[in-house]
Amino acid sequence: MAQFITNRRDIDFVLFEQFDAGSLTQYEKYAEFNRKTIDLIINEARNFALKELLPTNAEGDREGVSFENGEVRVPQCYHRPYKLYLEGEWPSLSEPVEQGGQGMPPIVARAAYEYLIGGNYCCVNYANFGHGTGKMIQLFGTEEQKKLFVEKLYKAEWTGGMLLTEAEAGSDVGALTTEAVKNEDGTYSLSGTKIFITNGEHDLTENIISPVLARTPGAPAGTKGISIFIVPKYWVNPDGSLGDRNDIVCTGIEEKMGIHGSATCTMALGTRGQCRGFLLGEENKGMKIMFHMMNEARLGVGFQAFTSAAAAYQYAVNYARQRIQGRDLTAGKDKDASAVPIIRQPDVRRMLTWMKAYVEGLRSFIYYTDHAMTSLELVESAEDRQYYQGLIDLFIPIVKAFNAQRAFDVCVQAMQVYGGYGYTKEYPVEQLVRDSKITSIYEGTDGIQSMDLLGRKIVMDGGKAFGDFMKEVQSTISRARKNENLGEMAGSLEKAANRLSEVCTNLAKTAASSDTKRAFAHSFPFLEAMGDVIVGWMLLWRAAIASEKLEKGPKAKDKAFYQGQRTTADFFIHTVLPQTLGKMESIDRMSAAAVDMEEAGFGS
């Protein structure tokens, strides 16, 4: 069976033709990352993923994680690729070399991670998950804490967890009850239980460093009274050596629909002795610190979803080309007509084109966010930094939630292309469907992301970021109008963008009124509509580049690719966006039916 992860030609298009990653060499920080170096990095990531990671993906899914006597064991097949992953120095590609990273531009690291995470997310995530912990300590920790933890976490010699959720405090983080009491030596003793902890315990590394949200005695209620603590599995001595086992213990793991190779743990703190931790930052400032990690995590979840979609699309196209069944519709009643590959059937082409549009649009959207993050590091003026930070903040909930929803839909559509075979474990799309579903749930459900978008992001700084986003879309529309083949598409996208702006204004006004619940009942459909407009923007941008290339007479091998970019944009803008306009009409009516529904009306 052919093995697929993603599309290298499209990655190169986004990197070098849409976002001009090669120009980063003009900055001293990225002077060494020329086209040759970037190609080498991506090639190495691809080779490693295909040789070591992808072959363990289905095997790890079948074997799953085991739990016995307080110990968690990952699938045995993960140990070799994990060791090689660390030896290859893949875990922290964008962090400074002196801190254990590789110093890559975020947008280049993203291309490498398309292969690495797409190859086996569960295995790679054990190594990558500690990155966010290291980043928080780097930004908010003491010099001693940085010395003890950051490099080990960035190199994934130690891994990290994220202990937020409690049984009675899931999405409502402010309701957590885990307690932290200060000791005479400045450390804290923690007690409580956390659930749904990804990689909370495993047997891949000698130590696990977990950020834990907890309350100190007398802390204010709600999120204002939350602090964050660094809690090692094994205590770390001042010289960096490991000390005694800390009382942070896994008491069970979850049996899940998907990501069977990922350990989802219940963690007990201080139930058998003393669980000690270091305060990170100041008391009662934990949520501010955690959001630095959460933004990175939410971008990562949206990307995780995307990699499932990218693989599912590649598998579906390959299968549709090889699966011979039925005659071509143009054969009519000719009984002697030969059977043809199902890719010749119009409805299969519709499904594949729909999948292609979302996969390529989401890829550009994710890379655009990375491009903004790279630009944020390089610009000098406060105005420019505010511009890029505003776009990043605006896009994070959409990258997370919209990508999660559409990526799952792409995986389901891939299963449909396979027909009955897609529903069996013999083919890979069944696992991709199961694995991708979690992305709409963890790191804040999609409904929470839509509330963040409506309640915070579109109104921050008086709506400046949303206005900047609209200007970016208009810039692409103006560019496309210069090509006679794209004029109609440009006009259709402009109509959708203008309607989105109107709906946004009306929805934000209602959200700020006494009728706020009615507005928030439509927050997720609004997020989806905004996501569709973003995909339309990205696809028109791609089509504009492709049209310019076609006018110059590209090489024969590139001509079909560029023509495909225009056709994909045409399909999405004239087939999907009209449906999005209908959704926006529905949002703007702002029906109160969902809010007004009596509890009894939902049935028993």
Contacts of 48 (CB under 8 A, 6+ apart): 84, 85, 88, 90, 115, 116, 119
297 within 8 A of 439, measured Cβ to Cβ: no
Q: 360, 430, 443, 494: which one is catalytic?
A: 443
Residues 6+ apart with CB under 8 A from 540: 476, 477, 480, 486, 489, 490, 493, 569, 573
- DSSP code string of 203-255: SSSS-EEEEEEEB-TTPPSGGGG-EEEEEESEEE-TTS-EEEEPSEEEEEE--
Whole-angstrom Cα distance, residue 15 to residue 35? 10
Nearest to 356 by CA among 6, 114, 115: 6
Strands 324-327 and 179-182: unpaired
538 three-class SS: helix
Which residue in 379, 205, 227, 410 sits closest to 314, CA to CA? 410
Tell me the C-alpha distance between 108 and 18, whole Å.
13
Cα→Cα distances 321→337, 354, 418, 500, Å: 18, 17, 11, 38
Question: Could you give the C-alpha distances from 12 to 289, 352, 399, in angstroms and in order?
Answer: 35, 21, 21
Q: Is 528 assigned a catalytic role?
A: no
- Asked if 497 and 490 count as a contact pair (C-beta separation under 8 A), the reply is no
Contact 525, 581 (CB under 8 A): no
> Which residues participate in catalysis according to the annotation?
443
